[in-house]
Amino acid sequence: MGEFSRTWWGQKFINAIESFTDAARLGRGRSYARGKKILDFAVNKGKIEATVRGSVNPYFGVYKEPRYHTVVKIKPIPKKDWSKIIQSMATNASFVSKLLLNEVPENIESSFREANKNLLPRSESDFQTSCSCPDYSNPCKHIAGLCYRFASELDEDPFLIFELRGLTKEQLHQELAKTPLGRALVAGLKTEELAPNPITSYYTKPQIKPVNAETTFKEFWQGKTIDPSTTDESKETNISAILVKKAGDMPEFWHRDNSFFATMEELYQRVKTKNRDLF
């Protein structure tokens, strides 16, 4: 059910609820989750709860939309087991660094298995559910809808499952920071706070240079008149058609038998002789 979860931990949560819930109720639950029928959704004090909008059904005498209080609890892990789990995590630098950076390692369940526990629910025994609706089945469609909604929230904050298991993210960080690896990583994550450097302006301050006193206003704005007698006459090169000669005697584009160099030399000479007055 990718529409409700994009992460491996969210998908595992969905797989657990789907393993023991009736298929028809799961289908209705998905429609409840995507149909904005779950109101006042909250995760606190180790439980997921919400008000779920029911369905109007005149056939059963339901003419007004009912509201049901739905609760899902995940069996908490005892504190003594949490101590073992954190000790196991503390021996893995990858686990400690990712958890301190608010990431959940994909193989984190290995630390829980050492204490014979699991982080994500796997079966019906991990859940405690209740709903005020008249459905005789538990979990009902309202509970299923709430679980799908929680899976989407779990994508954004995977530490919600830690909280349901009895340990908040802050408590987890505090315990990990006490371990040798945690202390080293926390020290490395701390950055030195530098005092702000005050500045008077965000723009480059212009530099003032004195104007040459001998320069008149006319010369300043229009420039000096160039005296031809002071300019160097261009020296005629001793090599004619130098640019053409760079291509060589038989360049690739020349398909005649005679020399390209000789042909162009003759052409340049004709142009130069005919337009002698222009040069």
Per-residue pLDDT of the chain (279 residues; tens, 9 = 90+): 457 778 888 899 999 999 999 899 999 999 988 888 899 999 887 899 999 988 877 776 777 888 999 999 998 899 899 999 998 888 888 888 888 888 888 888 998 988 899 999 988 889 999 999 988 888 999 999 999 999 998 888 889 999 999 888 889 888 888 888 888 776 666 556 677 888 777 787 788 877 666 777 777 777 766 666 655 555 555 666 566 666 667 777 777 778 877 777 788 778 877 766 654
Element holding 217 (H helix, E strand):
helix 217-222
- Alpha-carbon distances of 145 from 136, 149, 153, 243, rounded to whole Å: 16, 6, 13, 82
- How many degrees, rounded to 5, is the angle at CA 117 between CA 115 and CA 162? 110
Residues 65, 68, 73: CA angle, nearest 5 degrees: 155
Structure tokens at 189: 């994550």
Q: How many helices (H) and strands (E) does the chain have?
A: 12, 4
